[in-house]
Structure 1
């Protein structure tokens, strides 16, 4: 028969899930990974949102009916706030706070087809979402497209000529944050090239 779970063990599990790997938790509790995994399931802590109050990129993608890569593109290129954590296994996940997501979504409505989002799938759902659901289903959702060498050259030239990020973003049909980030990366690569 296995080791009895104490109140202290259960409290430790609740605090650690979402902050460190399953193997690390098992080691600290002197139990097998299987025993810890089963206990987490019995406690209803298998779902990252229930365990941490945060959503994984996959959970958010599922709720929004988009591909997981779309969420990671939003994080990488469009300023969606996320933190990296190791969850139940050794894999690294991006975790997103629901309130942060809604704040971001309000300013990036063109990227989301709200008609595909079930009501209250991501509570607390702000009031403006209901109106966003009524947007025609045929609206174009912007997806990330790779920067071409020509675009990067134009970006660097226009910045040198004194253009604002907003002006460049409009000209290249990209978001301001995407332009700012690409400029920072392009400039650092350019600076490295000229210093060698």
Structure 2
């Protein structure tokens, strides 16, 4: 009896890094579940959107960020009608439709610097046809209000410095200058 060789046995084994591309992205567990970033991805093309969601989740894993998603959000459907021609041919019209698909990826318990690095990495390697919008939350220690009160005079001085450059409320000098100009000999000779 002859031993049959199946096609799977002859196939060359792929490296583990390549094999992992065919699996779901790895994920970290959140300790406290405090949201630090909501990333909304938008696209007209579903395959591009799914690919970039997978890419973003893998990047979050390697930056030690607990990522949750990609949650499908309601699609946005836009429709409009345009006349094909003008004047008496107005009844011949054409309809157009554009559907925007959206996904949400949420980062919980992420360090603010790691989240900023993750967002910069995604922006640097942005995929064509994908729009991104991120809401980022940063948390401070207790007593931040007292610290803001201490910084208030310095901030007020900086604001006053900028505001005096506007000069809208200081019209006295301008009015006097215009009157002097109108009463001058040179203006009377040219106007008269």
Same fold (TM over 0.5): no
The TM-score range, normalised by the shorter chain, is under 0.3
Task: Identify the structure with bigger relative contact order (alpha carbons < 8 Å, sequence gap 6+).
Answer: 2
Kindly indicate which of the two structures has a greater share of residues assigned to strand: 2
Which one has a larger percent helix, Structure 1 or Structure 2?
A: 1
